[in-house]
Chains A and B, each alone.
Chain A
């Protein structure tokens, strides 16, 4: 009997949130978002590796918990739970609105993607997550940002097409789609390069990597805190996780795509760095940081195609890095945003600005802090925050003053973007 428990837990982790997507269930169950995460929490804390292959699901899919995805699962659960708690305390109510089905579908999709053992399983789950997340966020985003948010839908469609083609290229006539055999079935084929291009392009679009990043800015700026957290924790983290899963340890060096991808990542990082230095809104710091990290991440993956041995040796560390990155960014967003209303969010940061908390915002903050059981930690962090920002502010101000001389003129940002694209194209062609 006990032997059946781990696989049941594995299945419940995926199925239970999907069942809660049925409006009749989620409307009448108290704390449905938390309940939806319960099997996932138990699973993440289960000591040991579990796998369950279901030959008749899709084209023979499976789910498993291993050393790599356990951390991602744990961080994902924390992010969903934080979002639900903040939503509850702020009274935003998305988890009980008419769009709650999208919320649970996105949750189920992400958990399934994290646990999946094959290309098609991951693709299906990530697609479900993506479209459901689009629907969910569409109801939360402010009207003026919705136009840009719709870009996400366009990118999602294009990304899915690229990934579909990549999958077909990968398995060709073998019909085997397991991640653990991907290396053997694709490394030596002539389709390998196309597969890499399609995969990187697909996931880059899904992760909002420069220059397909406008939708993230819109969604980040135009949504409440509880949704902001999910923006990084759901589509972006899953896309980067997918990139790692879909790119096997290569036997042969793929120097041309590797170099271009490396350069692409560097461009993204440089772009993010410039924006970070230009940045005048405290709340936008995580946004540029995440672009910076994504860029570096992409560069390292590109480098991995050039120096294949190092990639094989160090790839497993990336899963933990991604988990830590996801956790840190989420913590940073909560930290920077908590207790501030929307108007306050867009105000320039200054030491004076930090003391202007309203009573209402303070009440909300206290409620959240109580819920998160982190009163002490956050109080300490608030002291640190003031000191850290004063230090950052001085350093940033110096850099910005220099940069502003060049960058403040209209059109410069666009010009630099095009210039970077131009370099990217030239380098690609020359390779």
Chain B
């Protein structure tokens, strides 16, 4: 169908155009701004729903525009692309509602929401990119559109965090660009292909391909927060809570992890990458990052910093699942892209609620907070248990498949990493829950705001409840058609491994 050629582009435009209009609005035009935000998000969701149905029934959605001689800008909706697009679209809608409530009395809202829309546009572009050059373009746009969000508060700390973010990500972008250009000069194509397009390259170029792999993974590893490239992430926690949620669950970190999946499966092909011997070091690096992030999280008193280190650890599950090089592990890694997203965004929304409603920023201030804000903490509890990997929350499903996949390819050591990480996750999340639910609340909270009969503003309360429910449903209804797990299985069959 001719329509199918334009829908990927429409998905990108559905947030780009509202974003550009929002830049021109004054602060007082909040009704128009809110309408544009919500309209864009809902329209995008509808288009993505259409594509999901079509791709499930093996329809083809592709927009191809000439960019350079022999290089097109390609937006293609395959199963893997749609998986990430669905996540970012759904969570963008929820985050937009949250951000509207969160920034209700803040200055520069038009600027904020303009960049917010650009950021999601870039993320969707990264997801739909049909070749490495399109990927690279949107990847860099993502860097540039998130920087103003990180420095939004305008404080000295925010500016420093922004500088750190830019330094890391531009360096990463440079590595990615270098690797991409080198690869193009070597093979003459950058088109993402199921099971990769490099297996036919002459053996004499294999050492060069290993270097290119390192460059690409290095570039992507900055955003995916692999060690030693994750210094920017905890610093970026100075940004407002919706931005933190966006960075950790929807956009930046996920774009890096998604890029790793693309490079391993659609550029090199998992079998070819394994034969080059590059997947095993990637798995070790991911395992080390998992443990490192958890250990660092253990010693943070600032709630958002603890969550940031937790992200460093959790996102590496995706890289680990991908690098183990087995069908089951790849399902576990890919499904964690969505599972980690819904769980982590819940935790950041809750952290934002505590900060906005009670002025609570530190874990040591959280005693008895569950009695004051039971719904928020109920959502936080679900998210935390998901991160630990306790069933029936979504995190369990990811760990289950990564564990099974590791045994499938005789990589038993991964089970120890999973166990160690779960133990550390429990060690840094359970004390928070214990303090919140079972300790006596203080007589006075640091900066308490009264929201009437509700524990906080409904715009702040409903988003975490929705995402917590999603985290729970993604685990309980894991085998339902169109569930993240079933979609990850579809991806594995259609794109990663020969059935």
Contact = CB atoms under 8 A, between A and B. Distances in A.
A2 interface: no
Interface in A99-142: 120, 123-124, 127-128, 131, 135, 138-139
B390 interface: yes
Interface string B390-407: 111000110110011001
B371 interface: yes
- Mostly, the B contact residues are helix
A1 B396 CA distance: 37
| Best-surrounded residue of A168, A171, A175 (most CB of chain B within 10 A) | A168
A161 B419 contact: yes
| Best-surrounded residue of A23, A128, A164 (most CB of chain B within 10 A) | A164
A58 B483 CA distance: 11
Interface stretch (B40-48, B293-301, B470-478): B470-478
A124 B479 contact: no
Given A23-B374, A60-B479, A171 B391 contact: no
A57 B391 CA distance: 12
B415 A165 contact: yes
A59 interface: yes
B438 A175 contact: no
A57 B423 contact: no
A227 B475 CA distance: 31
B400 A59 contact: yes
Nearest to A172: B407
Given A58-B479, A123-B391, A135 B438 contact: yes
B480 A173 contact: no
Contacts of B483: 56
Given A59-B397, A120-B391, A161 B407 contact: no
Contacts of A165: 403, 415, 419
| Best-surrounded residue of A23, A98, A124, A171 (most CB of chain B within 10 A) | A124
B430 A172 contact: no
Given A138-B438, A157-B430, A173-B408, A168 B415 contact: yes
Nearest to A191: B407
A128 B389 CA distance: 12
A56 B478 CA distance: 6
B391 A127 contact: yes
Interface residues of B, number: 35
Given A59-B397, A124-B391, A175 B477 contact: no
B279 interface: no
B425 to A, nearest CB: 9
B96 interface: no
B437 interface: yes
Contact of A175 (B404, B434, B480): B404
Contact of A127 (B390, B397, B404, B434): B390
A160 interface: yes
A56 B422 CA distance: 26
Contacts of A131: 385, 390
A55 interface: yes
B320 interface: no
Contacts of A58: 391-392, 475-476, 478-479
A235 B135 CA distance: 52
Contacts of B404: 168, 171-173, 175
A56 B407 contact: no
A56 B430 contact: no
A307 interface: no
A183 B477 CA distance: 27
Contact of A160 (B390, B397, B437): B390
Interface string B419-434: 1001100100010001
B328 interface: yes
- Mostly, the A contact residues are helix
Contacts of B437: 135
B403 A168 contact: yes
Interface string A34-72: 000000000000000000000111111000000000000
Contacts of B434: 150, 153
B426 A57 contact: no
B407 A57 contact: no
A159 B244 CA distance: 34
Interface in B77-104: none
Interface string A290-314: 0000000000000000000000000
A23 B388 CA distance: 25
A202 to B, nearest CB: 12
Contacts of A160: 390
Contacts of B481: 56
A145 B375 CA distance: 29
A352 to B, nearest CB: 40
A56 B371 contact: no
Interface in A151-181: 153, 157-158, 160-161, 164-165, 168-169, 171-173, 175
Contacts of A175: 328, 404
Given A138-B438, A172-B408, A173-B407, A164 B477 contact: no
22 contacts: A55-B479, A56-B477, A56-B480, A56-B481, A59-B397, A59-B479, A123-B391, A124-B396, A128-B392, A150-B434, A157-B422, A157-B426, A158-B423, A161-B423, A164-B399, A164-B418, A165-B403, A168-B400, A168-B415, A172-B407, A172-B408, A173-B328
Interface of B: 328, 371, 374, 385, 388-392, 396-397, 399-400, 403-404, 407-408, 415, 418-419, 422-423, 426, 430, 434, 437-438, 475-481, 483
Q: Which 4 residue pairs are nearest across A and B when measured between Cβ atoms?
A: A124-B391, A56-B479, A56-B480, A168-B403
Given A59-B400, A165-B403, 17 more contacts: A56-B479, A58-B475, A59-B478, A120-B391, A124-B396, A131-B385, A131-B390, A138-B438, A157-B422, A157-B423, A158-B423, A164-B399, A164-B403, A168-B400, A168-B407, A169-B407, A172-B404
